Amino acid sequence: MTEQKTAILLLQDGTVYYGKSFGAIGTTGGEICFNTGMTGYQEVFTDPSYYGQVLIMNSVHVGNYGVKDEDVQSDTVKIRGLIGRNLEELFSRKQASGSLGDYLRENEIVSIEEVDTRALVAHIRTKGAMNCIISSEISDLDVLKKKLSEVPDMAGLELASRVSTKKVYEMGDTGSKVRIAVMDYGVKKHILQCLVDRGAYIKVFPAKTKLEELKKFDPSGYFISNGPGDPSAMKYGIELVSGILEEGKPTFGICLGHQLLALANGIPTFKMHHGHRGLNHPVKNLVTGLCEITTQNHGFGVDPEAVKKAENVEVTHVNLNDHSIEGIRLKNKPAFSVQYHPESTPGPQDSRYLFDEFINMIVAN
Amino acid sequence: MPKDNSIHSVLIIGSGPIIIGQACEFDYSGSQAARSLREEGVKVFLINSNPATIMTDPMMADKVYLLPLTVESIEQILEENIANGTAIDAVLPTMGGQTALNLAKEANDLGIWEKFGVKMIGVDIKAIDKAEDREKFRQWMIGMGIPVAPARIANSFLEGKEFAQQIGFPLVIRPSFTLGGTGGGFVHDKNDLDEALNRGLQASPIHEVLVEKAVLGWKEFELELLRDAADNVCIICTVENFDPMGVHTGDSITVAPAMTLSDTAMQLMRNTAIRMMRDLGNFAGGCNVQFALDPDTEGIIAIEINPRVSRSSALASKATGYPIAKIAAKLAIGYTLDELENQITKTTSAYFEPALDYVIVKVPRWNFDKFKGANDTLGLQMKSVGEVMAIGRSFTEAIQKACQSLENNAVGLGYYGKSMMHAEEILERIKTPKWDRIFRIKDALMMGVSVNTIAKATGIDRWFIYEIQKICNCEKEIAKYKLDTLPAELLKEAKLLGFSDEQISRIMNNGSEEEVYEKRKAEGIRRVYKMVDTCSAEFEAKTPYFYSTFEAPSNSHAGGEQLLSNESKVSDKKKIIVLGSGPNRIGQGIEFDYCCVHGLLAIKECGYEAIMVNCNPETVSTDFDMADKLYFEPVYWEHLLEIIEHEKPDGVIVQLGGQTALKLSERLQEKGIPIIGTSFDSMDIAEDRGRFSDMLKELEIPYPDYGTAHTVDEAIAVANKVGYPVLVRPSYVLGGQRMRIVINDEELEKAVVSLLKHIPGNKILIDHFLDRCQEAEIDAIFDGEGFHVMGVMEHIEPAGIHSGDSNAVLPAFNLTPLVVQTMEEYAEKIARQLQIKGLINIQFAVKDGKVYVIEANPRASRTTPFIAKAYGIPYLNIATKIMMGANKLRDFKFEKKLKGYAIKEPVFSFEKFPGVNKELGPEMKSTGEAIRFIKDLRDPYFRQLYKDRSMYLSK
């Protein structure tokens, strides 16, 4: 192993950490956030919802089981940078195709390790989300500060169209009666897999596709995907979802899709203090009374007061920790959505039943 | 679902005396359950025969029954309560290990619960059977489509042989309904089959064994889960075994969170475990599921399910901060998880899965030295007597801290100053799992053996070996330097990897521990303390549960702040640190946990902040609810000193943590850190045979003639002077370690050579052995003025059997009043002379009416909790207050409530070591104890004991 270079982490508020460089050598910036999951790092790094973010992994060892081609949630690594306590070059999994270090280098992800990640997480927990920059090539803090000021603010930022597919594609059994039009705002591969596994024929559309285009597919249901960025900055998405609802066909939204469904019903979203990112968030299903442990990754949320006031919207799921809104359904339309990730990957699979419900809804319709 | 309001009173069944496989983790779970139920206004009745437990303290339950764990006792309790108009509504059998489950089942078979209208809560019999009966478990798994190892159940020797032939070797024999794998074992080929089958069939109470294909070399994982009556399930902790399948999980080094598990494999296990739990039947509480994972395919098989809290759940509670037993008890009375709060954050839900931002490593502690001739190969049957847990911000840091916690003179991971074996020899050796395998693996790496070769030889996941290699690489770097030249960067790296200062100085063969410490202090390389908070810092937590690590501080730029790295804020209250006793082992066990807990409570009552330092995850004293502040750290000088420098306490209590804590008093004294209670010098007099005898001489108290020696020749001269038989032992040891009685020069020479080999340079003590004398002991408290005898105990067995292995009767039953009076007088004289402040235990020998003093221990002894329980007096609380100078003896009333006699019975674990004879001598061998009350000396149990008193005596 070669000597690791020094790397610097600078936060917007002037906090500086010196650590060791890992992955690619270079400079990178984005909004700092943290993930508390203890498994599934590769799935997290390739999740398009993390686009534009520099991620702290709270778990102290990352990379232990290498990387494996099949575990990705999109074609590339989506995080902008990685901060860890111990990032591991050496791995043991027999099925792995390579090491985390090589993977990050190939994907040009600048990372830093040997940082007091716990102190950082506590800082962000109290101070809220902010931008940061990591560099393993620039040591002048004033230069870094200037570069950091060029990193755009996440609030008001539209990012979905940047990670969405450029081309339409199809998956599943062409003969299936369950035809789902999937709006890709940064969809995770496993969501598509969950739909296809349940017998659906799906067509995935780029972010700014018009409703007319979708209708040509003659879908029996619509799916609104997860994705990065501020949902309120996605006028086109809100309009599209409103149009989809007019169609009266079964509609299911996840994460960003959930926020768009809310916005289309006049319920505002807001930027959360520091978001929910991890594999252990407790959610209660108010319809069945059962609880589920969920995978979450969101920095924006749906305004709880507005949801309660909205006449045609019913809360179906709440977060047991902070009582935030985790799921809604429309009273007058076959549409529902959840803030968390029922496809998980990584994370617990307690909520997979939502895909069954969606398919059943389509079949019943 | 809210609380079941039909349950007003609950009987909790304890786990009885400590034996291998069932230790004080059940005191931890039982006490948590009792407190948890009482919080809900439920009356708690408790049965346990183990007097050294916290759970059997009057403060823990509405009524405690110190009775043998038998159906007769259960009936007696239920009857008594019906007669008193306090009929018991329910029984909770999931807190007392296998013992409690088995007893509950037996009572159920006899219709006792039904007869008295007692509802079984937490689990029902069907669920117990499904989980505990190997064949039912297998069929159940097969029915659900969950893979298991190919196996057949055999009820006879013939069947067993037949099935073995079908399944092929290697295979496992697993007896049904036994504890800690008793009677089980691997069979590698046909030659070993007969013996293993026989043993298994005999060990099983229903003479049934499972003949199972052995999945040696697969990885082993354990999931700790909670399930409520509404079918909500969550995984509290996933524990990875460092040792692959084939080593009992109680004997495995284990790590949490799982280190080498992909999310795909993790979710497969999680889903499978949840399906198992939901299908188990009526169950609400904590449960443990074990899986084996094939590293080639990531396929899994289910190994077992335990529908109760366990050693692993105690570990998981300490590892995550999530109090499993406490929540499990609430689930048993009807609550659902979403109705309860996270006990650490107090703001979030109890229904969640803890996230860890640290690594914990558990390393078992063995005592093979006590069982001569025992097979020390680790296997299906648990052999360790205790364990330590260490927390760090990396695996390397945690494993080295665990080694520092073990108290077997390890200063980290590695042998220093001992000769190493040849590479081939080591490679051969690590193929077989033994207690020292991890140390040998490190040696092999140091010699340049490759990671792959080691992984292949041991079946241990490569990742762990890579991590150990990091330790080796750093060690090789350090060895290039001297104290003056050691670069700060390297020193920092070494500390991040968990090296102790002493270890670094030994590697350099230069500078002392203290000099390394001073050097790093000057470089600003200091420990910081992080909180165990269940949530990886996602939420603010309020629980003062800390561990140490090293983290580089942040800097600031243009107004940025320096982040809080050290989370342990020092209060401005007066504070006292209590030192725990480290891992349980023979001679030092649960009784010191009992003492520490009472010490903490007494300190709090006196208005001080009580700070606990210990590394034993099985204990109640390391429950974060007990102390005001808990440092889960090795009871090791370097760690302790940094805690003291951080906290600046008003004093440290060393009297409650056994020999472990006492040993640290000299260094505390050197550093000028106040020791609460008896001074170091007085303790040294009591510990140092020469000084102690001089004192006895001065006080005109008889003692057996003795001498000290450093060589065989000196020893023979002394022995001939004092007269054979003589007692030979090293100084400063625990539980009569390596103590022998010899009758001639030849035997003496052998004993001395063996001692010097194991403890080079030790001063050897040689006492004239008072043959056929009577042994007795006194526990007492002295406050500088007043003296109080807590109890006088007479041993049933004659001298020559270690006091810990003797049946002790309280009060004395056969000694004349004059003898007892003499003993009390001597005890007072000694206490006064030593200026004891707090506790003292004195051992006596009585021969022909003459009283000799054998030794004095200026600390809480093994029998202190027993006396407190027998007399119903909170002696530890009183003693702590006296140590602190907060009270004098005259402030307390002592009303001894004992009717008749109480017997402290030793309990052994010999059945874990087939081939080892139950021979008793001056070296302690019992693992636990029970208390038995008798009305008078006509009691048949007592008469039998008295008759058998010399039966097991050996040298």
User: How near does any CA of chain B get to the CA of A201, in Å?
Assistant: 25
- By three-state DSSP, how is residue B563 classified? coil
Please check the confidence at residue A1 and state whether its pLDDT lies above 50: no
B369 DSSP 8-state letter: G
Answer whether B538 sits within 8 Å of A114, measured CB to CB. no
Q: Note the pLDDT tens digit of each residue in A99-149.
A: 999 999 999 999 999 999 999 999 999 999 999 999 999 999 999 999 999
> Quick check: is A341 catalytic?
yes
- Spatial distance between the Cα atoms of A128 and A147, rounded to a whole number of angstroms: 21
Mind listing the pLDDT tens digit for each residue in B726-779?
989 887 666 667 888 899 999 999 988 888 888 777 788 898 998 889 999 999
CATH architecture label of B406-525: Orthogonal Bundle (1.10)
What one-letter code names the amino acid at B642? E
List the domain boundaries for chain B.
Answer: 9-121, 150-213, 221-354, 406-525, 531-554+571-672, 705-768, 774-947
Point out which residues pair with A16 in neighbouring strands. Answer: A10, B555
Taking CB atoms and an 8 Å limit, are A58 and B463 in contact across chains?
no
User: Would you say domain B9-121 falls under CATH 3.40.50.620?
Assistant: no
CB contact under 8 A, B357 and A121: yes
Q: Where are the beta strands (DSSP E) in chain A?
A: 6-11, 15-23, 27-35, 53-57, 61-62, 81-83, 86-87, 110-113, 130-135, 169-172, 179-183, 201-205, 221-224, 251-254, 269-285, 291-302, 313-319, 325-330, 335-338
Q: How close, in Å, is residue A24 to chain B by CA atoms?
A: 22
Domains detected in chain A: 6-149 (3.50.30.20), 160-364 (3.40.50.880)
Give the pair of three-digit tokens for residue A47: 């999740």
Task: Check CB contact under 8 Å for B560 and A11.
Answer: yes
Chain A residues 86-105 with CB within 8 Å of chain B? 86, 88, 90-95
Tell me if chain B has a CB within 8 Å of the CB of A363: no
Supply the DSSP string of B829-840, one letter for each residue: HHHHHHT--EEE
Q: Across the interface, which of B355, B554, B562 has its CB nearest the CB of A280?
A: B355
Distances (CA, A) of B880 to B60, B596, B889: 19, 10, 11
Rounded to the nearest 10 degrees, what angle do helices B590-605 and B875-883 cross at? 60
User: Does A116 contact B at CB distance below 8 Å?
Assistant: yes
Name the residue facing A16 among B258, B530, B560 (closest C-beta).
B560
What number does CATH give the domain B774-947? 3.30.470.20
Distance between B42 CA and the closest CA of chain A, angstroms: 26
Write down the pLDDT at residue B937: 94
Rounded Cα–Cα distance for residues A169 and A289 (Å) = 38
* Sheet of strand B254-256, all strands in order from the earlier edge strand to the far edge: B300-306, B285-293, B219-227, B233-241, B254-256, B359-365, B386-392
Tens-digit pLDDT profile for residues B265-297: 999 999 999 999 999 988 999 999 999 999 999
In angstroms, the separation between the Cα of residue B139 and the nearest Cα of chain A is 26
- Please check whether residue A299 touches B, CB under 8 A: no
Please, are residues B503 and B522 in contact by the beta-carbon 8 Å criterion? no
Torsion sign, CA atoms B29, B31, B37, B42: positive
Whole-Å CA distances, B749 to B689, B740, B820, B955? 21, 12, 37, 15
Q: Is A125 on the interface with B (CB under 8 A)?
A: yes
Residues of chain B with Cβ-Cβ distance to A13 below 8 Å are 559-561
Q: Report the C-alpha gap between B761 and B691 in whole angstroms.
A: 19
Measured between CA atoms, the residue of chain B closest to residue A275 is B538
Beta bridge partners of A179: A201
B697-733 tens-digit pLDDT: 999 999 999 888 898 999 999 999 999 999 898 876 6
Q: Would you call A343 a catalytic residue per the annotation? A: yes
Q: Which two tokens stand for residue B786?
A: 């007043």
Give CA–CA dist B866/B869, Å, rounded. 5
Residue B673 has pLDDT above 70, yes or no: yes
- Interface contact B294, partner A, CB < 8 A: no
Cβ separation of A68 and B552 shorter than 8 Å? no
Amino acid, single-letter form, for residue B780? A
Q: Are B870 and B897 in contact (CB under 8 A)?
A: no
Structure-block tokens of residue B420: 């190493």
The sign of the dihedral angle between the CA atoms of B368, B370, B371, B373 is positive
Give the span between the Cα atoms of B694 and B709, in whole angstroms. Answer: 17
Q: Which helix (H) or strand (E) holds B1?
A: none
Averaged confidence pLDDT in chain B: 93
Q: How far is CA B718 from CA A137, B707, B724, B729, B761, in A?
A: 74, 6, 10, 13, 18
- Could you report how far apart the first and last alpha carbons of chain B are, in Å? 62
Q: In chain B, positions 432-461, which contact chain A (CB-CB < 8 Å)? A: 461
Cα gap A221→A202, rounded to integer Å: 10
Contact between A40 and B262 using a beta-carbon 8 Å cutoff: yes
Question: Residue B862: CB partners within 8 Å, gap ≥ 6?
Answer: B52, B591, B803, B804, B929
> Are B263 and A40 in contact (CB < 8 Å)?
yes
A256: its two tokens: 């960003």
> pLDDT tens digit string along A43-54?
999 999 999 999
Q: How confident is the model over B613-637, as pLDDT tens digits?
A: 999 999 999 999 899 999 999 999 9
Contact state of B270 with A348 under an 8 Å Cβ cutoff: yes
- The C-alpha angle B770, B367, B583, rounded to 5 degrees, equals 105
C-alpha span between B15 and B49 (Å, rounded):
8
With a pLDDT cut of 70, the percent of chain A lying above it is: 99
Which H helix or E strand runs over B771? none
* Catalytic pick among A255, A258, A292, A298: A255
Helix (H, G, I), strand (E, B) or coil at A222: strand
Domains B150-213 and B705-768 share a fold: yes
Kindly report, residue by residue over B676-702, the tens digit of the pLDDT: 999 999 999 998 888 999 999 999 999
Fold of the B705-768 domain: Dna Ligase; domain 1 (3.30.1490)
- Interface check for A282 against chain B (CB to CB < 8 A): the answer is yes
Residues of A in contact with B397 (CB under 8 A): none
* B296-322 pLDDT, tens digit each: 999 999 999 999 999 999 999 999 999
- Contact status of B1 with chain A (Cβ, < 8 Å): no
Q: What is the pLDDT of residues B225-279, one digit of tens each?
A: 999 999 999 999 999 999 999 999 999 999 999 999 999 999 999 999 999 999 9
Query: What topology does CATH give the domain B150-213?
Result: Dna Ligase; domain 1 (3.30.1490)
B681 touches chain A (CB under 8 A): no
Asked: is B221-354 a CATH 3.40.605.10 domain? The reply is no
Interface size A-B, in CB pairs within 8 Å, comes to 201
Tokens of A307: 């949801």
**How far is residue B222's CA from residue B252's CA, in Å, rounded to a whole number?**
12
Q: At what angle do helices B437-446 and B451-458 cross, to 10 degrees?
A: 160
The predicted-structure confidence for B534-587, as pLDDT tens digits, reads as follows 999 999 988 899 999 999 999 888 777 788 899 999 999 999 999 999 999 998
Q: Does domain B531-554+571-672 have CATH number 3.40.50.20?
A: yes
User: Token pair of B463, please?
Assistant: 């990742």
Q: Does B553 touch chain A (CB under 8 A)?
A: yes
Is B554's CB within 8 Å of A141's CB?
A: no
Q: Is the pLDDT of residue B955 over 60?
A: no
Note the pLDDT tens digit of each residue in A243-257. Answer: 999 999 999 999 999
The set of residues, in sequence order, having a beta carbon less than 8 Å from that of B446 and lying 6+ positions away, is: B414, B420, B472, B475, B476
Q: Edge to edge, what strands does the sheet with A201-205 contain?
A: A169-172, A201-205, A179-183, A221-224, A251-254, A335-338, A325-330, A313-319, A269-285, A291-302
Nearest Cα to Cα of residue B64 among B84, B83, B47: B47
Q: Which two tokens stand for residue B130?
A: 């499904």
CA distance A224 to A252: 6
Quote helix, strand, coil % in chain A, to nearest 5.
25, 35, 40
Which residue among A14, A61, A120 places its CB closest to the CB of B560?
A: A14
Contact of B225 with B277, CB cutoff 8 Å: yes
Contact (Cβ atoms closer than 8 angstroms) between residue A120 and residue A130: no
Burial (CB count within 10 angstroms: exposed 0-12, middle 13-18, buried 19+), residue B111: exposed
With CB atoms and an 8 Å threshold, state whether A60 touches B357.
yes
Number of CB atoms found within 10 A of residue B536's CB: 27
Neighbours of B68 (CB within 10 A): 17
Query: Does the bond joining B811 to the residue before it have cis omega, within 30 degrees of 0?
Result: yes
The per-residue pLDDT for B180 is: 60
For chain B, positions 888-907, list CB contacts with chain A under 8 A.
none
For an interface test with B, the pick among A9, A10, A39, A41 (most B C-beta atoms closer than 10 Å) comes out as A39
- How far does the CA of residue A57 sit from the closest CA of chain B (Å)? 9
Across the interface, do B353 and A344 touch by the CB < 8 Å criterion?
no
| Cα separation, B284 vs B233, whole angstroms | 10
Nearest CA in chain A to B353: A280
Residues 343-362 of B with CB under 8 A from A: 347-349, 351-359
Closest A-chain CA to B532 = A118
Q: According to DSSP H, which parts of B246-310 are helical?
A: 263-279
CA distance A246 to A333: 9
Segments in B257-416 forming alpha helices (H): 263-279, 311-320, 324-332, 395-405
Interval A290-317: pLDDT, tens:
999 999 999 999 999 999 999 999 999 9
User: Do residues A24 and A104 lie in contact, with contact meaning Cβ atoms separated by under 8 Å?
Assistant: yes
Helices (DSSP H) in B482-585: which residue ranges?
488-496, 501-508, 513-522
